[in-house]
């Protein structure tokens, strides 16, 4: 498989990446890589259509609308020969799961996909695992000037190593983003799906200028806090609190004493 992302990072300069998205729609990465390298052919297996409503379990069943030629785990375990293509998936996070039992001399069947996390921006693209580099490159097109944020987090776990940050230049931020995406890709290898993901608020704030107000508020409204009755915003004051505040700030003046004070001051001025 071609390695456009690795070749890009190994070069001396980071070429500018053209935008491939609008606030509501993202183009296919095929057209993006065609313009990036005229000599490189676009991958034969293009991005899969992905919808948030589609869910898949470890048994391989699906209740969504995703259409995919990839066989499910259930069908691959059947005694009947499968006509679906099998691919030898070579992804970088396999090194972390090398201890898991693998079939001997049998190609690994792609049983999961790598979805774009920008569904809140209208993107419904997913990639097969052997196109993980295209998956990473595609995610960069969602950022202004293809420049990811300095800090981002894993959208699935809360581990100590799930926070990724850098203070370097654009190249360092792209490498930091790539590390984060490899980390998330490992979760998908362990049968997590899009519905297991949570928003990365660092990323959402970074692309705020590319979202309309409704989409931004919707993406930022996510919370894992249970519903709480009578919850009010910070700084809220009841009518009784406001009345007490006015009483505390009030100044009471005795007009008779004030007149006496002024008379004494007048007499002193006359004497001098």
- Interval 158-187 mean pLDDT: 92
Distance of CA 176 to the CA centre of its chain: 14
**Nearest CA to 23 among 211, 209, 206?**
211
Rounded CA separation 246/37 (Å) = 70
Size (the chain), residues: 272
Dump pLDDT digits (tens) for 221-253.
Answer: 888 888 788 878 888 888 999 998 888 887 777
Dump pLDDT digits (tens) for 38-59.
Answer: 444 444 444 544 444 433 433 4
Note the pLDDT of residue 104: 52
DSSP codes of every residue in the chain: ---HHHHHHHSSS-------B-SS-B--HHHHHHHH-TTSPPPSS-PEE--TT--B-TT--B-S----SSPPHHHHTSSSPP-S-------GGGGGGTTS---TT-PPP----EE-SGGGGT--EEE-GGGHHHHHHHHHTTSGGG---SEEE-SS---GGGEEE--S-HHHHHHHHHHHHHHHHHHHHTT--GGG----HHHHHHTGGGS-HHHHHHHHT---SPP-TT---TT---HHHHHHHHHHH-----HHHHHHHHHHHHHHHHH-
Rounded CA separation 241/237 (Å) = 6
Band of the pLDDT at 61, cuts 50, 70, 90? very low
The yes-or-no verdict on residue 139 having pLDDT over 60 is: yes
């Amino acid at each position: 498989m071609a390695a456009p992302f690795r070749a890009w990072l190994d070069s001396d300069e980071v070429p500018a990446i053209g935008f491939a998205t609008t606030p509501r729609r993202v183009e296919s990465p095929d057209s993006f890589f065609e313009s990036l390298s005229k000599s490189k052919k676009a991958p034969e297996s293009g991005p899969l259509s992905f919808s948030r409503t589609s869910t898949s379990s470890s048994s391989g069943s699906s209740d969504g609308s995703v259409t995919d030629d990839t066989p499910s785990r259930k069908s691959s375990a059947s005694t009947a020969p499968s006509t679906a293509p099998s691919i030898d998936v070579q992804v970088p996070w396999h090194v972390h799961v090398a201890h898991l039992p693998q079939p001997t001399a049998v190609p690994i069947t792609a049983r999961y996909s790598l979805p774009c996390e920008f569904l809140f921006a209208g993107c419904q693209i997913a990639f097969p695992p052997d196109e993980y580099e295209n998956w990473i490159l595609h995610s960069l097109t969602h950022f202004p000037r293809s420049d990811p944020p300095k800090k981002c987090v894993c959208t699935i776990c809360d581990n100590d190593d799930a926070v990724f940050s850098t203070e370097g230049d654009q190249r360092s931020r792209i490498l930091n983003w790539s590390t984060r995406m490899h980390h998330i890709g490992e979760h998908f290898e362990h049968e997590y799906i899009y519905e297991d993901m949570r928003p990365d608020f660092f990323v959402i704030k970074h692309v705020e200028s590319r979202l309309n107000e409704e989409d931004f508020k919707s993406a930022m409204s996510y919370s894992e806090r249970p519903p709480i009755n009578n919850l009010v915003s910070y700084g809220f004051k009841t009518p009784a609190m406001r009345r007490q505040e006015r009483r505390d700030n009030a100044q009471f003046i005795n007009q008779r004493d004030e007149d006496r004070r002024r008379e004494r001051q007048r007499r002193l001025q006359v004497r001098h």
